[in-house]
Amino acid sequence: MLTGFADGGLELRKRASGALALQGRFPYNKRAVLSDGGRNGRPKKEAIAPRAFAYRVDDPKEDIHFLVGHSFDKPLASRGAGTLDLVDGDDALTFTATITPEMQEVSYVRDILAGIAAGLTLGISPGFRLPPKRAVPEPEKIEDEGSDPENGAHNAIIRTVLAALLYEISVVTRPAYPDAQVEQRNWDVTRDGIKPVSDLRHLSRWRALP
């Protein structure tokens, strides 16, 4: 399973039913640094093309999960359960995950909500696989960035994912994609439940890995 990381935006809202709506977005065409190349190698960067996840996202029968840290043992919501809504656009994949009152009582769910409230766990990371060549002959494109340091080009190898099979979206910790900003509504996790805090934090926390 491949992963990509982004803080495209996480926002928690509490509903009258007691459920929490966790909203986020994974923006397309944002380059992430996979490797700086070390002392002698070339930097490697990656981007996800617009609607690269369309094959499974556009089919409502395909179940997609919302997880903690890419662990299927720590689910938060899923499309099959009716608690995950996905909207694919030209600029980003957006989602709304409904965290039910029952799930809020689970220990790892309370932990991740506390991490979000503290501004420590704000990354969004899709877990995906490239389709087989027989189905999609060219699921990715590899090209040279060129060298123009004044404009941020450092002779990197650029990998653009053109088509991928999306299986899950995870909340993660490690940051990357510095161009993105997160706007998060803070919540106070207490023994009596999750209560809103008045201030908003604007953060930039992105991460991309091979």
pLDDT digits (tens, 9 = 90+) for 26-40: 889 988 877 788 877
Q: Which of 59-73, 162-176, 186-200 has the lowest mean pLDDT?
A: 186-200
Is residue 149 predicted with pLDDT exceeding 70? no
From the list 78, 180, 181, the residue with the least C-alpha distance to 127 is: 78
Is residue 147 predicted with pLDDT exceeding 60? yes
How far apart are alpha carbons 113 and 97 in whole angstroms? 13
pLDDT score, position 151: 62
pLDDT bracket for residue 181 (50, 70, 90): very low
| Beta-strand relationship, 153-154 and 123-129 | unpaired
| Beta-strand relationship, 165-172 and 123-129 | antiparallel
CB-based contacts of 76-82 (< 8 A; 24+ apart in sequence):
76/22, 76/103, 76/109, 76/112, 76/171, 77/22, 77/103
Is residue 148 predicted with pLDDT exceeding 80? no
How far apart are alpha carbons 209 and 177 in whole angstroms? 11
Per DSSP, what are the bridge partners of residue 122?
none
Is residue 194 predicted with pLDDT exceeding 80? no
pLDDT score, position 102: 93
- Residue matched to tokens 């617009």: 50
pLDDT score, position 40: 78
| H or E element in which residue 182 lies | strand 182-190
Domain boundaries, the chain: 2-36+51-137+164-203
pLDDT score, position 87: 95
How far apart are alpha carbons 67 and 127 in whole angstroms? 10
